[in-house]
Homo-oligomer: A and B are copies of this chain.
Amino acid sequence: MAYELYYWPSIQGRGEFVRLALEEGAADYIDVARKSGASKMMKMMEGAGVTTIPYAPPFLKAGKLVIGQSANILLYLGSRHRLAPKPDAGRLWVHQLQLTIADLVKEIHDTHHPVASSLYYEDQKSEAKRYSGHFLKERVPKYLGYFERVIKKSGGPFLTGKKLTYADLSLFQIVSGLRFAFPNATAIAEKKVPNVVGVHDRVIARPRIENYLNSKRRIPFNQNGIFRAYKELDA
């Protein structure tokens, strides 16, 4: 039975971390809201037919299970699609990395929405400028530097060593998104993290990912997602 992925149909957003895992894992899935609109997704979030009500998309229907929170979905998919080790130690380590990526994703979101998600970017531009300055100067080097150290410590070329995991797919998405949103600042930051760039390059060259990125299933980056290209926020 095909998985059902529920996520906003017009953005990559947090759903993209799940899409990349489903694609690399060669999983059979339906991107429900892209196929049939978002109304069923909205009703499920209100509790229709669901015991484990999700707070927000993305969520994944896997048989009888409805699983929310992107990192939690990846925890579920990882060991089932050879995207994470099965033993506890390795599974928890990959999940830990994913949770740190999730923290970074939230900080990236806040570059354009530092005051409130309910306000337009235009209504929080001055705060966004100040926030983004600190983010690019302090946070991007700290996070990417951390992942660089992790890759070195593991022996590489991936985050946890020789085998690709879903955390590598997510790190690819981070690098791609940062390049889209902050091309100048990212070019500078990348110079210090060759192994992180290496993960990006290895992921993008994988046949299933390449196929996906060149398909219509991949929604292009745009100004409604997590990563948004506002020139005034770039270094």
Q: Is A96 part of the binding interface, using a Cβ–Cβ cutoff of 8 Å?
A: yes
B149 touches A131 (CB 8 A): no
Q: Is A53 part of the binding interface, using a Cβ–Cβ cutoff of 8 Å?
A: yes
A134 touches B116 (CB 8 A): yes
Complex CA gap A110/B115 in Å reads: 9
Neighbouring B residues of A118 by C-beta, 8 Å: 134, 138
| Stretch binding the partner chain, chosen from A61-69, A167-175, A180-188, A206-214 | A61-69
Chain A 51-90: CB-based contact to B (< 8 A → 1; otherwise 0): 1111100000000110111011001100000000000110
Task: For the complex, count residues of A whose C-beta is within 8 A of B.
Answer: 44
Tell whether A89 pairs with B116 under 8 Å between CB atoms, given A96-B52, A154-B51: no
Q: Is A150 part of the binding interface, using a Cβ–Cβ cutoff of 8 Å?
A: yes
Interface members, chain A 108-166 (any B CB < 8 Å)? 110, 114-116, 118-119, 127, 130-131, 134-135, 138, 143, 146, 149-150, 153-154
Which single member of B92, B130, B149 contacts A65 (CB below 8 Å)? Answer: B92
Q: Is A193 part of the binding interface, using a Cβ–Cβ cutoff of 8 Å?
A: no
Q: Is A224 part of the binding interface, using a Cβ–Cβ cutoff of 8 Å?
A: no
Complex CA gap A135/B127 in Å reads: 16
Q: Is A95 part of the binding interface, using a Cβ–Cβ cutoff of 8 Å?
A: yes
Complex CA gap A88/B76 in Å reads: 9
Q: Is A201 part of the binding interface, using a Cβ–Cβ cutoff of 8 Å?
A: no
Q: Is A100 part of the binding interface, using a Cβ–Cβ cutoff of 8 Å?
A: yes
**Chain B minimum-CB-distance residue to A130:** B115
A100 touches B69 (CB 8 A): yes
Q: Is A93 part of the binding interface, using a Cβ–Cβ cutoff of 8 Å?
A: yes
A-B pairs, top 8 by smallest CB distance, nearest first, are: A116-B134, A69-B99, A55-B100, A52-B93, A69-B96, A68-B96, A72-B96, A55-B146
22 CB-based A-B contacts, threshold 8 Å: A51-B154, A53-B153, A65-B88, A69-B95, A69-B99, A72-B92, A76-B92, A99-B99, A99-B102, A103-B106, A106-B106, A110-B110, A114-B114, A114-B131, A116-B131, A116-B134, A116-B138, A118-B134, A118-B138, A119-B134, A127-B127, A127-B130
